[in-house]
């Protein structure tokens, strides 16, 4: 099975080819070259010519074809690839697909309006939605428009994913691949395949200043105690006038619910003072410097102080008539254990949202503890049916907020409990302030569970005052950006294959990989190896799938070996030199109209690709229009030439206006490494300074005479 041509209908990519552009046929290097035309009555398909250089199984028995889309940056390569992706793109484009099967069998898949097919070919239609399932799109860039599972964004992505969650998602995919036996096969194919053997998990180090600065520069956590007290008094007066406390007023009520609260406010110095009180606790002390949040000797203590700092930071609550009376902050942090402090913060949040419901929780359960999550949730939900409104606030809104904070604290507590359990059961290796996960020694599920719990925390804290950054997870061996890119590419494909295997869905005998600049970030050595690597490794990865459905015949029970086809975009000549020219789609742009067009490479492209010299490819306008030299160096050389030849530069380029003198010119010439250019500049320098300077000529003569004497002495 081989996708041989694609038809892009009239006007489908107006931003590239113009508002009323004609339909375009992309030939991908199949058995023939085709022309596809939509004449409003029928879709015509005809063979234009035979691809004389087509070789069956050229890419191996498991890859039906590899094609490339080439053009300069911004010319439309990605847009075309996304049009082929079609159903997996938020900006869906309807196109027409023509497939070849063996030598004299053709199939088509039509996303255009239903039309008659006009052709001399013996052709059948693919009627199922299978094609949307077999197309897999990959991009190394996080692209919110791409919702296929090879992207790091999910099928229901709205583009608002936390970057931390995206990083963790990729990390898990990497670890899954590195724990998979298929990795060993990849290593035989790709000897320098990047990998790491262990990951270090630490509590992210923060500056104390960054937390305190939130309140120093914003109208939050006011340091003005008079203003805070005034707000509470005005709220209490309003409650009295509305009769909210009718039947409750008494000495004990006034003392415990009103006067003590006022005293606490007066004694408070604002939220920043709470940070100081927390950090002054002896168990959180360290010797790394006054502005460091935690030390480097105890992982769980670092976790505790960082978590509680975030709790303080987020403890800014709007004044509502549903709030209860909050206690003194010092009474929270003076508690003995982590769980007691944690529950005290939890209680503070519950009180600050809906005091009556919080009191109901304490009355029924005799405590307010996150360990009673399920029972607390039931009690909160009991208040859902009440439709109270006071001072413009709805009780239903307070209930929803309580449930939100309940889930947030539960996520934090689950993570804490898991970390404690991991340490006590030696699920990870302990190394002072770090947990070490060793791929060969530790159970991968333990690591996956940790990431899942941490991602849940990240999901519950999207609206934190200060973005949550609690765990730092990195390999102890630092991978380069190119190594990460290569590992990520294979990890994402492997992840997709694993999902297909476990989904219970149909597994087809053909898959189409659409790769958008997959070698982006690679070292040139890896770019040179890329096509060779995918021809050998992609079949190994897809061999984990057992096809149970034929793309063409859903009732067939006999399947050929699974085949993959690859179409990728690139602007790198090292990669392109592995692709036959008939498999390359060239895109160029008209400088007058600023519109792109598909180039007929049989007639209009004076360019060889397969096995071509990379320097010849680079010299072509599809890659470099103005030679191989960097523009800064070129500008400086031109500027020096103008100076040495006494010509004035009309260029507005600051480089061309460089103020030269004899010494700078000589130093610059010595810097130039290209022999021909250096010799030319030296000649111009001599003409300007040497040939018109008698003393310089005499000095030069003396130098020559001295050198001649040295040679004569050597000969003697």
pLDDT on residue 183? 84
With a CB cutoff of 8 Å and minimum separation 6, the contacts of 615 are: 628
CA distances from 187 to 148, 171, 568 (A): 27, 19, 23
Residues 617, 581: Cα–Cα separation, whole Å: 12
SS3 of the chain: helix, strand, coil, percent, to 5: 45, 15, 40
The pLDDT of 414-438, averaged and rounded, is: 89
pLDDT at 184 over 60: yes
- Both tokens of 698, joined, read 């005499």
3-state secondary structure of 259: helix
Q: Name the average pLDDT for the chain.
A: 77
pLDDT at 214 over 60: yes
Q: For residue range 493-507, what is the model confidence (pLDDT) as tens digits?
A: 888 888 888 777 788
Q: Do residues 540 and 186 make contact, with C-beta atoms less than 8 angstroms apart?
A: yes
Q: Do residues 255 and 264 make contact, with C-beta atoms less than 8 angstroms apart?
A: no
pLDDT at 624 over 50: no
pLDDT on residue 226? 55
Residues 131, 139: Cα–Cα separation, whole Å: 19
Q: State percent of the chain over pLDDT 70.
A: 75
**E strands in 239-333:** none
pLDDT at 426 over 60: yes
Residues 139, 148: Cα–Cα separation, whole Å: 10
Residues 692, 42: Cα–Cα separation, whole Å: 80
pLDDT on residue 667? 84
Residue with tokens 């939605």: 129
CA distances from 446 to 307, 437, 475, 491, 508 (A): 22, 9, 16, 19, 33
Highest mean pLDDT: which of 508-517, 624-633, 681-690? 508-517
Helix axes 481-503, 524-542, angle to 10 degrees: 10
Q: Do residues 107 and 101 make contact, with C-beta atoms less than 8 angstroms apart?
A: yes
pLDDT on residue 374? 95
With a CB cutoff of 8 Å and minimum separation 6, the contacts of 173 are: 488, 491, 492, 494, 495
DSSP state of 628: S
With a CB cutoff of 8 Å and minimum separation 6, the contacts of 275 are: 208, 211, 212, 309, 312
pLDDT at 152 over 50: no
Highest mean pLDDT: which of 145-149, 352-356, 470-474, 684-688? 470-474
Q: For residue range 27-74, what is the model confidence (pLDDT) as tens digits?
A: 888 888 888 888 878 888 888 888 888 888 888 888 889 888 887 766
């Amino acid at each position: 099975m081989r996708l041989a041509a694609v038809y892009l209908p009239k006007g489908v990519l107006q931003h590239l080819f113009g508002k009323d552009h004609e339909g375009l046929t992309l030939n991908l290097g199949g058995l023939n070259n085709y022309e596809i035309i939509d004449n409003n009555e029928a879709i015509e398909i005809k063979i234009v010519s035979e691809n004389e250089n087509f070789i069956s199984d050229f890419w191996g028995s498991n890859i039906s074809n590899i094609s490339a889309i080439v053009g300069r940056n911004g010319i439309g390569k990605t847009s075309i690839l996304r049009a082929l992706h079609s159903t997996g793109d938020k900006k869906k484009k309807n196109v027409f697909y023509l497939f070849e099967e063996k030598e004299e069998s053709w199939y088509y898949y039509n996303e255009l309006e239903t039309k008659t097919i006009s052709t001399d070919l013996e052709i059948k239609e693919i009627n199922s939605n299978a094609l949307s399932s077999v197309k897999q799109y990959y991009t190394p860039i996080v692209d919110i428009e791409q919702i296929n599972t090879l992207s790091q964004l999910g099928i229901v992505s709205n583009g608002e994913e936390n970057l931390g969650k995206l990083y963790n998602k990729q990390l898990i995919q990497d670890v899954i691949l590195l724990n998979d036996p298929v990795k060993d096969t990849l290593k035989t194919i790709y000897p320098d395949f990047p990998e790491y053997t262990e990951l270090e998990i630490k509590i992210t180090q923060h500056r104390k200043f960054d937390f305190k600065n939130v309140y120093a520069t914003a109208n939050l956590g006011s340091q003005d105690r008079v203003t805070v007290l005034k707000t509470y008094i005005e709220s209490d007066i309003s409650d009295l006038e509305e009769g909210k406390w009718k039947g409750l007023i008494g000495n004990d009520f006034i003392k415990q619910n009103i006067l003590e609260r006022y005293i606490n406010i007066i004694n408070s110095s604002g939220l920043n003072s709470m940070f100081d009180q927390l950090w002054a606790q002896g168990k959180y002390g360290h010797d790394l410097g006054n502005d460091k949040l935690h030390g480097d000797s105890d992982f769980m203590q670092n976790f505790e102080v960082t978590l509680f700092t975030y709790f303080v930071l987020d403890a800014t609550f709007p004044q509502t008539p549903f709030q209860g009376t909050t206690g003194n902050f010092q009474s929270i942090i003076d508690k003995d254990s982590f769980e007691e402090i944690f529950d005290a913060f939890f209680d503070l949040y519950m009180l600050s949202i809906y005091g009556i419901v919080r009191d109901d929780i304490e009355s029924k359960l005799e405590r307010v503890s996150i360990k009673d999550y399920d029972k607390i949730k039931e009690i909160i939900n009991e208040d859902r049916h009440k439709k109270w409104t006071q001072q413009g606030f709805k009780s239903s809104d307070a209930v929803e907020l309580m449930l939100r904070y309940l889930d947030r604290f539960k996520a934090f507590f689950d993570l804490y409990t898991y970390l404690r359990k991991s340490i006590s059961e030696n699920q990870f290796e302990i190394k002072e302030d770090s947990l070490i996960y060793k791929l060969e020694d530790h159970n991968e599920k333990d690591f996956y569970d940790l990431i899942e719990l941490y991602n849940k925390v990240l999901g519950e804290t999207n609206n934190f005052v200060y973005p949550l950054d609690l765990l730092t997870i990195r390999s102890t061996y630092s991978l380069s950006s190119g190594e990460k890119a290569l590992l990520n590419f294979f990890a994402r494909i492997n992840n997709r294959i694993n999902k297909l295997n476990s989904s219970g869905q149909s597994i087809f005998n053909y898959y189409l990989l659409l790769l958008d600049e997959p070698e982006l970030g690679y070292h040139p050595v890896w770019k040179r190896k890329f096509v060779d690597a995918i021809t050998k490794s992609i079949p190994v990865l897809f061999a984990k799938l057992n096809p149970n459905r034929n793309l063409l015949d859903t009732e067939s029970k006999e399947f050929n070996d699974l085949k993959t086809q690859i179409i990728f975009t690139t602007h790198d000549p090292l990669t392109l030199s592995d692709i036959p020219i008939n498999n390359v789609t060239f895109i160029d742009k008209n400088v007058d109209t600023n519109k792109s067009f598909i180039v007929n490479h049989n007639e209009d492209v004076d360019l060889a690709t397969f096995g071509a010299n990379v320097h010849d490819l680079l010299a072509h306008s599809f890659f470099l229009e103005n030679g191989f030299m960097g523009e800064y160096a070129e500008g400086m050389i031109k500027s020096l030439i103008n100076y040495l030849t006494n010509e004035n530069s009309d260029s507005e380029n600051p480089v061309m206006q460089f103020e030269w003198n004899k010494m700078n010119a000589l130093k610059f010439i010595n810097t130039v490494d290209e022999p021909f250019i250096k010799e030319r500049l030296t000649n111009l320098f001599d003409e300007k300074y040497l040939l018109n300077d008698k003393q310089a000529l005499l000095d030069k003569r003396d130098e020559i005479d001295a050198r001649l004497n040295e040679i004569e002495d050597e000969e003697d």
